[in-house]
Amino acid sequence: MEISFISMWLFGFLLGVKHSLEPDHVIAVSNIASETKTLRRSSLTGVSWGVGHTLTLLCVGLTVIVLKVEIVEVWAMSFEFLVGVMLIYLGVKGMFGYRKIHMHGEKGKASSPVFIKPLIIGFVHGLAGSATMVLLTASTVSSLWEGVIYILVFGLGTIVGMLLFTTIIGVPFVLSAGRNRLNDTLTKMTGLISTGFGFYYVYNLGINEGLFTLWL
């Protein structure tokens, strides 16, 4: 039994690491990492995302399990749609908002709550993944407490995975911090990828998967 629990937790942790590196997660957090000037701040961006993601999964997932209700398809897809809109917003902001940072300097930027944004992004991604998490947890555990532990271990995996990713992705932005033109180019490229993927995400959900039809 003890080995079974360890195997379940290890599986949940590794699944969390894999989950953190899904394209929409990576692209969204890359936009935030592109704004950082030190690896420490870039790494903490990933941690903040993971915390927001885990808290949402825990709250929504356990509420659904305890009340024995289902997240209907239209709501699950709508949460996913929100992710696409968020990617477009982050991308456009990255492409057109960076010059404003240079004009106002780093002083004002440093005083802003830099970890609030990745926390909110993690929250949105947690909403989008809550339906899948509920099904996964329900099929893996046999009690509420096992469910809590499983989601927390899964969440720890997402935090570790995103911590490693944002540290790596932050390297080119940190190294180019003193070269405004290069840094600006990298930031705009990140924004362009986010915008393009966001539009694809929205189109795929709305048209190909029929979300717009479900809304009508």
Dihedral sign for Cα atoms in the order 79, 132, 127, 189: negative
Residue 120 has pLDDT above 80, yes or no: yes
What does the pLDDT read at residue 105? 47
Q: Which two tokens stand for residue 183?
A: 């840094």
What does the pLDDT read at residue 17? 92
- The amino acid present at 51, given as its one-letter code, is V
DSSP string, 56-86: HHHHHHHHHHHHT----HHHHHHHHHHHHHH
The C-alpha atoms of residue 78 and residue 214 are separated, in whole angstroms, by 10
The pTM of this model reads 0.83
Number of CB atoms found within 10 A of residue 186's CB: 18
Q: Which tens digit of pLDDT belongs to each residue from 152-204?
A: 999 999 999 999 999 998 888 888 877 778 878 888 999 999 999 999 999 99
Half-sphere exposure of 52 (CA within 13 A, CB side): 22
What does the pLDDT read at residue 133? 77
Q: Which tens digit of pLDDT belongs to each residue from 193-204?
A: 999 999 999 999
Q: Which tens digit of pLDDT belongs to each residue from 59-114?
A: 887 887 788 777 888 988 999 999 999 999 999 988 887 544 444 444 444 444 56
Give the C-alpha distances (Å, rounded to integers) separating 37 from 27, 72, 166.
Answer: 18, 42, 12
